[in-house]
Structure 1
């Protein structure tokens, strides 16, 4: 289950681009809390704290208890914007989580037992097709990851969605097909027979190109005239 973290915020009185710029000049980041049947609530958060949380990883799958001027709300980040040049946070959206609610999240896939994978030992490579799976999960039980075990895969084997153990109450949003998660690809080598055939084909061609033309025969001597 994802860890719940605390975050302090203040009510933001103004809205719009001008008010947002004013908040940023004060060293804070504008945001909004929405959903759950309540009106959207503009807020402002501390820049340093928010920046650290975003770059710590898993920000969009982390539950937060936001204290807005003494009133606590349980939320999850839904989106955030970064400055295209400085990569600094500009705005963040939070979704309210009511008891019994569910939501869609991208859950990362963690791959284990690569060192004991038979296909890898034979020179194969791990080809990851999907690094995450979009699922609908309970708000009270957001998984940190889904585990893909490679310990039994040989060359050309693959793992599909139905082979992964999903956490209780979690269902993939794409349920109409059993898509591939990871495959073990064979080593990229040229077979010996093919290499020998290529060499045999190239040898006569080189001989024809490099052969010298036969020397022309010397003209026959003219018969001597009788005196």
Structure 2
């Protein structure tokens, strides 16, 4: 199901106008890209605040309805207040169905507890990456990339090249020759440290 956002054209600009807008519960924003000029918009702050809490909102094609005119966009950026639960500004980018887009997708890790290195050896899994930047056509955009840890053993490392990608999706780092590590499984250090402390105590006594 596509996520829909209602917005209106923003007629007033400037710091003072934006401040008054936020005080009244509205959120200033902008939509740009495609073959059209950038457009200033405003929307309901409360609605957007809760939409931003959903992971899918950050990695999905959104339907932005501006004054009754729907346009497909992706979230590009947003600024939060330093200490208030308040969004200060939000940016959207129009998409072109025939052009590839660049989007950061979250990684979903599966079967961590069933991995031999964890289940049999008590190993610890470390997530080095939690998201990846991908390139694909809008029609091929997934909400996330799955990372299956079922076969991981102690000392194991999964790299970007080990991930199974949906059809039409390419990881930008790999395209540049950067096969980054995604997750590692190592022996816990606590046990070794405890054994060393016990040996030192026995020696001193």
**After TM superposition, is the score higher than 0.5?**
yes
Coordinate RMSD, CA, aligned: 2.1
Distance 1:33 1:66 in 2: 9
Contact 1:34 1:41 in 2 (8 A): yes
- Given that 2:6 and 2:43 are in contact with CA atoms closer than 8 Å, whether structure 1 keeps it comes out as yes
Question: More displaced, 132-141 or 29-38?
Answer: 132-141
2:165 aligned partner: 166
* DSSP 3-state at the match of 1:140: helix
Which residue in 2 is equivalent to 1:11? 9
Aligned residues: 201
Contact residue 60 and residue 79 of structure 1 kept, 8 A:
no
Instruction: Work out whether 1:177 is the aligned partner of 2:175.
Output: no
Instruction: Indicate how the Cα distance of structure 1 residues 57 and 202 shifts in structure 2: closer, same or farther if over 3 A, else same.
Output: same
TM-score, normalised relative to structure 2: 0.88
Tell me what 1:63 maps to.
Answer: 61
- TM-score under structure 1 normalisation? 0.80
Structure 2 partner of 1:128 = 127
Distance 1:199 1:106, change over 3 A: same
Please tell me whether the aligned partners of residues 160 and 178 of structure 1 are also in contact (alpha carbons under 8 angstroms).
yes
Question: 1:191 Cα shift?
Answer: 8.6
User: What are the within-5 Å matches in structure 2 for residues 140-155 of structure 1?
Assistant: 140-155=139-154
**Preserved CA contact (<8 Å) 1:100 1:140:** no
Unpaired segments ≥5 residues, structure 2? none
